[in-house]
Structure 1
Amino acid sequence: MSSESTGDVPGPPPASQLLIGLARLGQAVRMEAWRNAGPHNLSPLQADIVSLLAGSRAPLRQGEIVEALASTAPTVSDAVKVLRRKELLDASRDPGDARALRVTLSESGRAEAGRLSVVSESLGGAVAALTPDDFAAMMRGTVTLMRELQERRAIPISRMCLTCRFFAPKAHPVKTGRAHHCNFVDAPFGDAELRVSCPDHEL
């Protein structure tokens, strides 16, 4: 169905319907984040910071966290202060700029990141209900939308395959089911294995 034509179907056009659906899914993920506050009673933003640092190979400046999470400096600063009080973060001054603070996970923070990495039963069960073809199609659609939004500067750059120098799209026959190639690990892979966050990502 064209995104421009609704035919005889009532309601908002298809593009709006898709955005409504994505908003509902976002609400579900956020609600689950509140339910999964854990022993440290983390807010969704605090949990996002812990997860972001868990996927980083080096300490991050607060400004880098602001950019990565599309938040604001005061909001991230407050969240970092709370996480430090909860002893989930270690902080140090940036050697290149004594005014800048770099943060990384403490031992307790790494343990909490491990807990957060476990997908909830409700969200995991919903994803498991997708057929392999539907899952691959959703991954393909998700990374395509993210790349378009990144190019329009509507969201921050994500460490995903489509923006990575190691990604070679359709390097292999499509009929194999593993048409893409990752030059970092030198291996083919399919749409279902597309990454939206990868520690080995390089622009």
Structure 2
Amino acid sequence: MESPRTAPPLPMRVLEGLERIATAIRADDWNRARAAGVNPTQLAILDVLEGRPAGLAVRDLASQLGVSQPTATDSILALERKGMVEKRPEPGDGRSQRVQITPAGRDAHAARAAAPGAVAQAASALPDDQQEYLLLLVVSVIRQLQESQAIPIQRMCVSCRYFRPYAHADAAKPHHCNFVDAAFGQQDLRIDCREHETADPSVRAATWTAFEGSQPPPPSR
């Protein structure tokens, strides 16, 4: 019989919990994909392309999605047939192509975004301070994954050259974005920002040290 002393290691139990959440996310993805008239992989491609006016090369799309290039190519061809993406020559290299979202693709993406799934509803049911702390934990996990090269660099505040953590004494808005020259709070941290520009590795490391070192304590509930 399992007891607290014989339970799996803490990281394994965290992984088990994330796997349960991932199951619900996959179900949400299927529901949203059906509403958009695509499948989940095709919807994920629209997610990546939306907000990237210049588009992405097929290899970069595959890297962002964590799938093989042939898998990405098949899904892109299906989206092309539906008129949701198009390919254009890479500037300066006519042999290469970039995939761009079309107005029809944006409409499909908007239909997907209009219906929050079960996981979003569950997160929104948490108190505001717990939602904010959960966001910080998610940012920390993604940061570890990208720095270990398990995933590509994400367009997060903490990896952006415009981000200045804890630049202000205001506890409600301690951070500063140099792109818009404005202060903002923890609850406004972005996971995927259109204006993101990746900072140099040494700058990312220094930014993260400053960000992590000044974190407030977790909510006491």
Structure-2-length-normalised TM-score: 0.82
Q: Is the 8 A contact 2:175 2:183 kept in 1?
A: yes
2:28 is matched with which residue? 32
Deviations 1:170-198 (A, max 9, x none): 1123x622221111112222222111100
Structure 1 CA distance for aligned equivalents of residues 36 and 135 of structure 2: 32
Deviation at 1:152, TM superposition (A): 0.7
Instruction: Please state if 1:56 is matched with 2:49.
Output: no
Structure 2 CA distance for aligned equivalents of residues 135 and 40 of structure 1: 28
Structure 2 CA distance for aligned equivalents of residues 57 and 143 of structure 1: 25
Bigger mean CA deviation after superposition, 10-19 or 104-113: 10-19
**Residue 38 of structure 1: SS of its match in structure 2?**
helix
Deviations 1:21-58 (A, max 9, x none): 11221221111111222355312110011111112131
Structure 2 CA distance for aligned equivalents of residues 197 and 129 of structure 1: 22
**Residue 196 of structure 2: SS of its match in structure 1?**
coil
2:8 is matched with which residue? 12
**Residue 116 of structure 1: SS of its match in structure 2?**
helix
Q: CA 1:26–1:39 in 2, change beyond 3 Å: closer, same or farther?
A: closer
Instruction: Please state if 1:178 is matched with 2:207.
Output: no
Q: How many residues align?
A: 196
Deviation at 1:161, TM superposition (A): 0.7
1:202 is matched with which residue? 197
Q: Is the 8 A contact 2:62 2:72 kept in 1?
A: yes
1:192 is matched with which residue? 187
Q: Is the 8 A contact 2:79 2:85 kept in 1?
A: yes
Q: Percent identity?
A: 35
The one-letter code matched in structure 1 to 2:126 is L
**Residue 33 of structure 2: SS of its match in structure 1?**
coil
**Residue 112 of structure 1: SS of its match in structure 2?**
helix
2:38 is matched with which residue? 42
Structure-1-length-normalised TM-score: 0.89
Structure 1 CA distance for aligned equivalents of residues 97 and 80 of structure 2: 12
Structure 2 CA distance for aligned equivalents of residues 160 and 66 of structure 1: 19
Instruction: Please state if 1:73 is matched with 2:69.
Output: yes
Which consecutive unaligned segments of at least 5 residues does structure 2 have?
Answer: 199-221
Structure 2 CA distance for aligned equivalents of residues 124 and 138 of structure 1: 12
1:3 is matched with which residue? none
| C-alpha RMSD of the superposition | 1.8
1:84 is matched with which residue? 80
